[in-house]
Structure 1
Amino acid sequence: LEVALGQPFIVDDRPGAGSVIGTDAAAKSAPDGYALLVMSNTHTVNETLVPNKPYALLRDFVPIAPVNYSDLVLVVHPAVAANNLAELLALAKAKPGKLNYASSGPGTPYHMAGELFKAMAGVDIVHVPYRGSSQARTDTIGGQVDMMFDAVTTMSEFAKAGKVRALATTGKVRSSALPNVPTMSEAGVPGYEAVIWLGIMAPKGTPPDIVRRLNAEITAIVGRPEVRDDWARQGAVAMKMNPEDFGRYIVDDIAKWERIVKISGAKPDQ
């Protein structure tokens, strides 16, 4: 974008409160096209998970463009007596509340993937939240927890090395990073889909011509063969939508995770 627009881009990373602090700062920025929000489905989950936050996505932002998505992969420690998803489901149903799964924290895509799995598969497994993916991953590999939904871009190498057993990926089609691993739908949970996606939004009031220009530039960048090829090697897939379609995608994602947050009883701190 710096090259395409002839403007410097500064990453203003403001961590805290599950992305709420940084998102609120973006919402309060001038709607002139010079302040953008890099967002993900963490933000759509937060619409329900964090009801008293100072902003609302659909009220305070306008959609610009999606960037990419990547699948998650459900892995188990090799000591878990399940060589495939069917065996894991049988084990979980035989021992309700005895198996557990790690996540990078409450309300994250990894946590919500686990809750969606519980709801759709009808199993009772216990959520073990961590402060970030690294420790959750370490303890899954070490056998302190039984399983984890993790980004295929990260966990695929551990699966290939035999440190964990990959049972299923979470997209509609098989992941390029783990082509021999079935999708959740193929493996026994029809209709299951949970991916990590990234997109760009801008403060409400950003002029439509700026929104269109940014959408065109971002779409062109993610469509470059070298970008798509690099992402494919990591298991990520470029996304292409106009602002209106991206807005509808966000609305649908909010509705999807609203149901799961309510079913699971998930809270920001647990």
Structure 2
Amino acid sequence: MQRRHFLAASALPLLAGRVLAADSALRILVGAPPGGGTDLVARAAAQELSGRLHRTITVENRPGAAGNIAAAQVAKDPDALLLCYTSHVINPSLFASLPFDPIKDFTPLSLVARSPLLLVARPDFPASTFPELQALAKKRSVSIGIAGIGSANHLASEMLRKQGGMELLSVSYKGAVPALTDAMGGQIDLVLSNVASAQTFVAARKLKVLAVSTAQRVAAYPDAAPIADVLPGFDYSSWYGLLGAAGMKPQDVEAIGAATALAVRSEAMRRHLQSEGLEPVGSTPAEFARFLQQEVERWRKVVALTGTKVA
């Protein structure tokens, strides 16, 4: 590392301390229940950021409405941050109206991590690869569990059905674990799940991996080929990022964004995220802002193509 870059990086925690040390405690709101992937990322980030920002940071769970309850709270609270996930950019295309604008009412701070999706099946399912599944599902209906209408895994499942020309029967669940449990029990055939939720069951051989949702193979599952090998352009994953309310002071944006990026790159947090099947990112605020704009448009097209609606 060049000396000027090293000095700039080493000064970031000090800058963060000067700007924020005198402020009140900061809260990270999570639009999901305790114990899930979003909650896990939020608590890991809070622990690292508390030390780097020299500030008390707590995590509060506000589940419900696909993350909209927590987002609406943060949009009007300057002392709160939002650990958002993929639904934040999907919801504008699903809901007729929202009490906030997902872009204009928030300040992007950092894209924290991504999670590929695993296409898993019950152990005795007659297909073990995606080409085998596609051939089977063109002959008869195959059931696939989804973790909530309009979720990233639901929309990716719908694109799987549409692009693959398969008969997939969607079965809705309140979360990934209930869907995976039913797959293990033989009540359904498949689940397109994030790695964090599925990896324990895969390791115990209670589920088998047929394919991965990303364009590249996943290091932890080198034998699982990408769905994109058969369906060109198929590339879906979930992600987690940190947002503040609109109108944050530039020095706070710089301090929190820089501290988050450094936290994600730390050995402790990187290993923690990877152990949960997540890919650490740690982007700049500007990079995250561009990413959010692209994601809103990308998922808008997916919602339109699949005709997905919420009740």
State the distance in 2 between where 1:116 and 1:248 align.
24
Secondary structure (helix, strand or coil) at the match of 1:150 reads: strand
Q: Which amino acid aligns with 2:226?
A: T
User: Which residue does 1:255 correspond to in 2?
Assistant: 297
Q: Is the 8 A contact 1:153 1:177 kept in 2?
A: no
User: Which residue does 2:191 correspond to in 1?
Assistant: 148
Q: 2:255 aligns with which of 213, 216, 228?
A: 213
User: Which residue does 2:53 correspond to in 1?
Assistant: 5
State the distance in 1 between where 2:52 and 2:282 align.
18
Q: Is the 8 A contact 1:28 1:203 kept in 2?
A: yes
Displaced runs of 4 or more, over 4 A: none
TM-score by length of 2: 0.80
User: Which residue does 1:125 correspond to in 2?
Assistant: 168
Q: Is the 8 A contact 1:156 1:178 kept in 2?
A: no
State the distance in 1 between where 2:62 and 2:129 align.
40
User: Which residue does 2:137 correspond to in 1?
Assistant: 92
Q: 1:239 aligns with which of 281, 285, 299?
A: 281
Q: 2:102 aligns with which of 52, 57, 78?
A: 57
Q: 2:71 aligns with which of 6, 16, 23?
A: 23
Q: Structure 1 residue 173: deviation in Å?
A: 2.2
User: Which residue does 1:68 correspond to in 2?
Assistant: 113
State the distance in 1 between where 2:293 and 2:162 align.
21
Q: Is the 8 A contact 2:113 2:279 kept in 1?
A: yes
| Structure index of larger Rg | 2
Structure 1 gap ranges (5+): none
Residue range with higher mean Cα deviation, 156-165 or 56-65: 156-165
Q: Is the 8 A contact 2:262 2:282 kept in 1?
A: no
Secondary structure (helix, strand or coil) at the match of 1:36 reads: strand
Q: 1:191 aligns with which of 233, 243, 263?
A: 233
Q: Which amino acid aligns with 1:165?
A: K
Once the two structures are superposed, residues 179-204 of structure 1 have per-residue CA deviations (whole angstroms, 9 ceiling, x without a partner) of 22222223x22221111110011111
State the distance in 1 between where 2:156 and 2:195 align.
13
Matched, 1:115 2:163: no
Q: Which amino acid aligns with 1:116?
A: M
Q: Would the alpha carbon gap of residues 15 and 232 (structure 1) be closer, same or farther in structure 2, given more than 3 Å must change?
A: closer
State the distance in 2 between where 1:153 and 1:16 align.
21
* Root-mean-square deviation (Å): 1.6
Structure 2 gap ranges (5+): 1-48
State the distance in 1 between where 2:247 and 2:299 align.
27
Q: Which amino acid aligns with 2:220?
A: A
Q: Structure 1 residue 249: deviation in Å?
A: 0.7
Paired-residue identity, %: 29
Secondary structure (helix, strand or coil) at the match of 1:154 reads: helix
Q: Which amino acid aligns with 1:106?
A: I
Q: Is the 8 A contact 1:159 1:165 kept in 2?
A: yes
Q: Structure 1 residue 268: deviation in Å?
A: 2.4
State the distance in 1 between where 2:156 and 2:109 align.
26
Q: Is the 8 A contact 1:174 1:181 kept in 2?
A: yes
Q: Structure 1 residue 248: deviation in Å?
A: 1.2
Q: Is the 8 A contact 1:152 1:177 kept in 2?
A: no
Q: Structure 1 residue 164: deviation in Å?
A: 1.9
| Count of paired positions | 263
Q: Which amino acid aligns with 1:28?
A: K
Secondary structure (helix, strand or coil) at the match of 1:57 reads: coil
Q: Would the alpha carbon gap of residues 14 and 231 (structure 1) be closer, same or farther in structure 2, given more than 3 Å must change?
A: closer
Bigger relative contact order (CA 8 A; separation at least 6): 1
Once the two structures are superposed, residues 150-170 of structure 1 have per-residue CA deviations (whole angstroms, 9 ceiling, x without a partner) of 111231232233322211111
